[in-house]
Amino acid sequence: MKVKISSFAGTDTADIELNDEVFGLDPRADILHRVVTWQLEKRRETARGTRERADVARTGKKFGRQKGGGTARHGDRRAPVFIGGGKAHGARVRDFNPGLNKKVRALGLKMALSSHAKAGTLVVMDSLVVEGGKTKTLLGDLAKLGFGKRALVIDGDMVETSFAFAAGNLFEVDVMPAAGANVYDILKHDTLVLTRAAVEKLEARFHG
């Protein structure tokens, strides 16, 4: 698959050949759903379990007479109404650490990349250098390219410093290095922007 390499000048500089095994797959909704669900569940933290009535180490002996004491009737000091008693309807420990086969995860990432390539919302940039690292300059460059409402920009090992500074105040532009590329972030953005270095890193990730 060939894609034009764009620049902030608003011109196409050359073509780049993308690996069809990474950018040319037919996306499957079931695979993408499995990977996104797994990814979101992995982000959830496990609640700390509280001790309920059965977990509190207190005596179970009835501490007072049933009638005539002038107080409410209680069987033991584990009741939630007492200080030091068990928690009523406390938080339970839940496992939010599901497993997913590595091959399915890799396939999901390939399909997420392919979905943008097939939809025509994949942009490959030669460089992300922004003159002076100014947000105003970057806004003018983005207007020429037409990135859409939300764009995810993925660079190589590190995001280019001037671009990271310029995009820091733009809520519609998210940036990350190639190592952080994931299905959820790729799918939720309207446009996917990759640099040459990012393309090389992503292709090497599957065929390294």
Digit-coded pLDDT (tens) for 114-159: 999 999 889 999 888 888 888 898 888 888 787 778 899 999 889 8
Q: What is the pLDDT of residue 4?
A: 85
d(CA 63, CA 73): 10
Q: Give the H/E segment covering residue 15.
A: strand 12-17
CB count, 10 Å around CB of 137? 15
Complete domains list, the chain, with CATH:
2-44+100-207 (3.40.1370.10), 45-95 (no CATH)
Query: Alpha-carbon distance 69 to 85, whole Å?
Result: 21
| Amino acid 29: pLDDT | 95
The answer for residues whose C-beta is within 8 angstroms of residue 5's C-beta and 6 or more apart is: 12, 13, 14, 15, 16, 124, 125, 126, 196
Residue 193 confidence (pLDDT): 92
Angle (nearest 5°) at CA 179 between 174 and 183: 65
Name which of 154, 130, 132 is nearest 142 in CA terms. Answer: 130
Output the pLDDT for position 63: 80
Q: Angle at CA 198, nearest 5°, toward 196 and 204?
A: 105
Report residue 166: phi and psi, to 5°: -70, -35
d(CA 82, CA 77): 6
Which pTM does this prediction carry? 0.77
For the CA atoms of 113, 118, 120, 124, the dihedral, rounded to the nearest 10 degrees, stands at: 40
pLDDT under 50 in the chain at which residues?
none
pLDDT score, position 184: 96
